[in-house]
Amino acid sequence: MLIKKHLLKLIVLCCFLSITGAQAELVTGVLAGEDESLIKSKSQGEIVKLLVIEGEQVKAGDVLAVIDDEQEVLEHRLAGVEYKTAEKDYLKTKQLKKFVSSEEILQKKNIYLKKKTIFELKSYNLRSTKVVSPISGVVTKQFIKRGEMVGSGEKIFEVINLGKLIIELDIAAKAASKLKQGQRLLFTTELDAKDSFNGMISYIAPVVDKTSGTVRVRLNLPNPRSKQGAYRLKPGTMVNVKLN
């Protein structure tokens, strides 16, 4: 009878180990946009125009806001006149090289090149008064309001392409050695553990982090849409990725 009890315990223990051993190893990560841009001001001054709001879809090259450019317009116009005048003066002097010294030609050339550089700088300053999105996506954050003063390097907008997502994972070296590029892994989100998605491994770091003993692995996935057309997954959401 005692032997049967021990045998029963052993069977139960084996079953438990078999079940737990078969469970998939989970690694936690965070959803992020494959293309994300924190757009900062390249100029300083008052925001005179806001052309988009949070949640609006934009394309690469779209102007999102305009900084007061009155001074930049005047400086650009003046620099343009001086540049064209110096250019004409240099070309005219060059044509008269039989009657003028090489030193005078060189002097006119240097003045022309200097005025050209100033004009290009003023052109850049004028362009910088327009806040432009470098990527296509959705405006997810707006940090300023119309009428506010901004400085150079100040955050203006955040734009994320919600259609393409990534998950970056730090996986123990032993577990990472079993993974292959192109392999698909299932994951669930913290919002709904019952609904699963999958991403494809696009990158496995060739080195192990000395401090943590982990390998950086990246998954790529298209963001699925609901029947209503809205994206189902949101950047910033915690996810649990199954490694096997």
Q: Kindly report, residue by residue over 133-174, the tens digit of the pLDDT.
A: 999 999 999 999 999 999 999 999 999 999 999 999 999 999
Which whole-number Å values give the CA distances from 81 to 86, 87, 94, 106, 159, in the listed order? 9, 10, 20, 21, 38
CB 124 within 8 A of CB 2: no
DSSP E strands in the chain: the ranges are: 26-33, 36-40, 45-50, 57-58, 63-67, 130-132, 137-142, 149-150, 155-160, 164-172, 184-189, 192-204, 214-222, 238-242
Tell whether the model's pLDDT for residue 197 goes beyond 90. Answer: yes
Q: Domain 23-37+162-242, what fold?
A: Elongation Factor Tu (Ef-tu); domain 3 (2.40.30)
> What per-residue confidence (pLDDT) applies to 4?
46
Q: Is the pTM of this model over 0.85?
A: no
Nearby residues of 175 by Cβ (< 8 Å), 6 or more positions away: 25, 27, 243
Please, which residues bridge with residue 198 across strands? 186
Alpha carbon distance 65, 10 (integer Å) = 71
Q: What pLDDT is stored for residue 5 in this prediction?
A: 45
131 within 8 A of 39, measured Cβ to Cβ = yes
| Domain(s) of CATH 2.40.30.170: residues in the chain | 23-37+162-242
Second-level CATH architecture of 69-128: Orthogonal Bundle (1.10)
Section 112-128 average pLDDT: 97
